[in-house]
Amino acid sequence: MRNINQNVLSAVDTASQTGGKIDASQLYSASFHAYFGDSGCTGSVKIQASNDPCAFGNDAVNFTPTNWVDIPNTSTNVTSGGAILITLSQLSYRWLRVAFTYASGGSSTINVNLNALGF
């Protein structure tokens, strides 16, 4: 079993942002912690998934998924910055990513960290 802890999105909180792909092929649970640098930001944070198969002999490093869908029950509204938590259990996705949709306010940063268990 392995434990993963990494930053998957670090950007300004004054514009919509999408994090890079996360290889979830050997993960079975994950949680995403979003931290806002100020309390004036509003918008939403959601987790998206893709089950696009790798081309070229499973070259996951150079592969870019193109078919992303929102995972049900993983979107949360941000109403006053601060911190939020999104938890996924029993993953069945090949790729994951974080999407922040800006609504108003903000003058600092958003950071999203992934904590996951895998084998």
Q: What is the pLDDT of residues 51-67, one digit of tens each?
A: 998 876 667 788 889 99
Q: What is the DSSP string of 15-82?
A: S-EEPPPEE-TTEEEEEEEEEESSS--EEEEEEEEE-PPPSTTT-TTT------EEPTT--EEESSSS
Residues 6 or more apart whose Cβ sits within 8 Å of residue 18: 9, 97, 98, 99, 100
Q: With pLDDT > 90 as the criterion, what percentage of the chain qualifies? A: 76
Where residue 43 falls (left for φ over 0; alpha for ψ -120 to 50; beta otherwise) is left
* CATH fold for domain 2-118: Jelly Rolls (2.60.120)
Domain ranges in the chain are: 2-118
pLDDT-derived band at 30, boundaries 50, 70, 90: very high
| pTM of this prediction exceeds 0.75 | yes
pLDDT digits (tens, 9 = 90+) for 68-98: 999 999 999 999 988 999 999 888 899 999 9
The token duo for 103 is: 């609504």
